[in-house]
Amino acid sequence: MEKLTIHGTPPSAREMIAALSQFRPEVVSVDGHQELVVGLGGDPAELVAALHALEKYLAEQANGPIRLELDGHHYVMHPDGGGA
CATH (domain of 26): 3.30.70
Buried b (16+ CB within 10 A) or exposed e, 30-63: eeeeebbbbebeeeeebbeebbebbbebbeeebe
Which pLDDT band, with edges at 50, 70 and 90, does 12 fall under? low
Q: Is residue 24 part of a domain?
A: yes
Q: How many domains does the chain have?
A: 1
Q: Is residue 40 part of a domain?
A: yes
The CB-side HSE value for 25 (13 A sphere, CA atoms) comes to 24
* pTM score, whole prediction: 0.81
| H-helix or E-strand spanning residue 57 | helix 44-60
Torsion of CA 59, 30, 73, 49, to 10 degrees: -40
Q: Residue 52 is part of which domain span? A: 7-77
Q: Is residue 68 part of a domain?
A: yes
Greater confidence (40 vs 32) lies with 40
Q: Is residue 84 part of a domain?
A: no
